[in-house]
Structure 1
Amino acid sequence: MSPAMDSVSWVYFSVTFLAMVTCVLGMAGNSMVIWLLSFRVQRSPFCVYVLNLAVADFLFLLSMASMLSLETGPLLVASTSARIYEGMKRIKYFAYTAGLSLLTAISTQRCLSVLFPIWYKCHQPQHLSTVVCGALWALALLMNFLASFFCVQFWHPNQNQCFWVDMVFTSLILGIFMPIMILSSTILLIRVRKNTLLRRRRPRRLFVVILASVFVFLTCSLPLGIYWFLLYWVGLPQDVLLLYICLSRFSSSLSSSANPVIYFLVGSQKSHRLQESLDAMLGRALRDEPEPDGRETPSVCTNDEA
Structure 2
Amino acid sequence: MNSVTWVYFSVTFLAMVTCVLGMAGNSMVIWLLSFRVRRSPFCVYVLNLAVADFLFLFCMASMLCLETGLLVSDSTSFKIYEGVRRIKYFAYTAGLSLLTAISTQRCLSVLFPIWYKCHQPQHLSAAVCGVLWVLTLLMNFLASYFCVQLWHPNTNLCFTMDMVASGLILGIFLPIMILSSTILLIRVRKNTLLRRRRPRRLFVVILASVFVFLTCSLPLGLYWFLLYWEEKLLQNVILLYICLSRFSSCLSSSANPIIYFLVGSQKSHRLQDSLGVVLGRALRDDPEPEGRETPSMCTNDEV
Structure 1 residue 167 corresponds to structure 2 residue 163: yes
Structure 1 residue 276 corresponds to structure 2 residue 267: no
The alpha carbon displacement at 1:74 in A equals 5.9
Which residue pairs with 2:133 in the alignment? 137
Counterparts in 2 of 1:245 and 1:275: CA distance versus 1, 3 Å = same
How many angstroms apart in 2 are the aligned matches of 1:79 and 1:132? 41
- Report if the CA contact (8 A) 2:82-2:148 is conserved: no
Deviations 1:255-287 (A, max 9, x none): 000000000110001112011100000000000
- Give the partner amino acid of 1:177: F
- Report if the CA contact (8 A) 2:103-2:206 is conserved: yes
Which residue pairs with 2:255 in the alignment? 258
Deviations 1:56-84 (A, max 9, x none): 00000000000000001166772321010
How many angstroms apart in 1 are the aligned matches of 2:216 and 2:8? 18
> 66-75 vs 275-284, which deviates more?
66-75
How many angstroms apart in 2 are the aligned matches of 1:85 and 1:153? 12
How many angstroms apart in 1 are the aligned matches of 2:10 and 2:123? 46
Q: Secondary structure of the equivalent of 1:292?
A: coil
Counterparts in 2 of 1:182 and 1:305: CA distance versus 1, 3 Å = closer
Which residue pairs with 1:303 in the alignment? 300
How many angstroms apart in 2 are the aligned matches of 1:101 and 1:57? 12
Which residue pairs with 1:126 in the alignment? 122
How many angstroms apart in 2 are the aligned matches of 1:94 and 1:256? 14
Alignment of 1:21-32 (within 5 A): 21-32=17-28
The alpha carbon displacement at 1:89 in A equals 0.4
How many angstroms apart in 2 are the aligned matches of 1:156 and 1:265? 47
Q: Secondary structure of the equivalent of 1:60?
A: helix
How many angstroms apart in 2 are the aligned matches of 1:68 and 1:122? 48
Gaps of 5+ in 1: none
- Give the partner amino acid of 1:289: D
- Report if the CA contact (8 A) 2:202-2:284 is conserved: yes
How many angstroms apart in 1 are the aligned matches of 2:75 and 2:289? 60
Match of 2:148 among 125, 149, 152: 152
Counterparts in 2 of 1:218 and 1:124: CA distance versus 1, 3 Å = same
Q: Secondary structure of the equivalent of 2:269?
A: coil
The alpha carbon displacement at 1:251 in A equals 0.2
- Give the partner amino acid of 1:279: G
How many angstroms apart in 2 are the aligned matches of 1:286 and 1:154? 43
How many angstroms apart in 2 are the aligned matches of 1:157 and 1:266? 46
Which residue pairs with 1:192 in the alignment? 188
TM-score, normalised on structure 2? 0.97
Match of 1:106 among 102, 105, 110: 102
How many angstroms apart in 2 are the aligned matches of 1:156 and 1:23? 32
Gaps of 5+ in 2: none
How many angstroms apart in 2 are the aligned matches of 1:28 and 1:77? 28
How many angstroms apart in 1 are the aligned matches of 2:301 and 2:74? 51
How many angstroms apart in 1 are the aligned matches of 2:157 and 2:218? 24
RMSD of equivalent CA atoms:
1.4
- Report if the CA contact (8 A) 1:76-1:82 is conserved: no
- Give the partner amino acid of 2:176: I
Which residue pairs with 2:202 in the alignment? 206
Which residue pairs with 1:59 in the alignment? 55
Match of 2:264 among 267, 272, 294: 267
Aligned length: 302
- Report if the CA contact (8 A) 2:57-2:250 is conserved: yes
Which residue pairs with 1:245 in the alignment? 242
The alpha carbon displacement at 1:158 in A equals 3.1
How many angstroms apart in 2 are the aligned matches of 1:305 and 1:20? 37
Which residue pairs with 2:68 in the alignment? 72
> 66-75 vs 152-161, which deviates more?
152-161
How many angstroms apart in 2 are the aligned matches of 1:161 and 1:144? 13
Counterparts in 2 of 1:232 and 1:77: CA distance versus 1, 3 Å = farther
Counterparts in 2 of 1:266 and 1:248: CA distance versus 1, 3 Å = same
TM-score, normalised on structure 1? 0.96
Percent of residue pairs identical = 85
- Report if the CA contact (8 A) 2:281-2:298 is conserved: yes
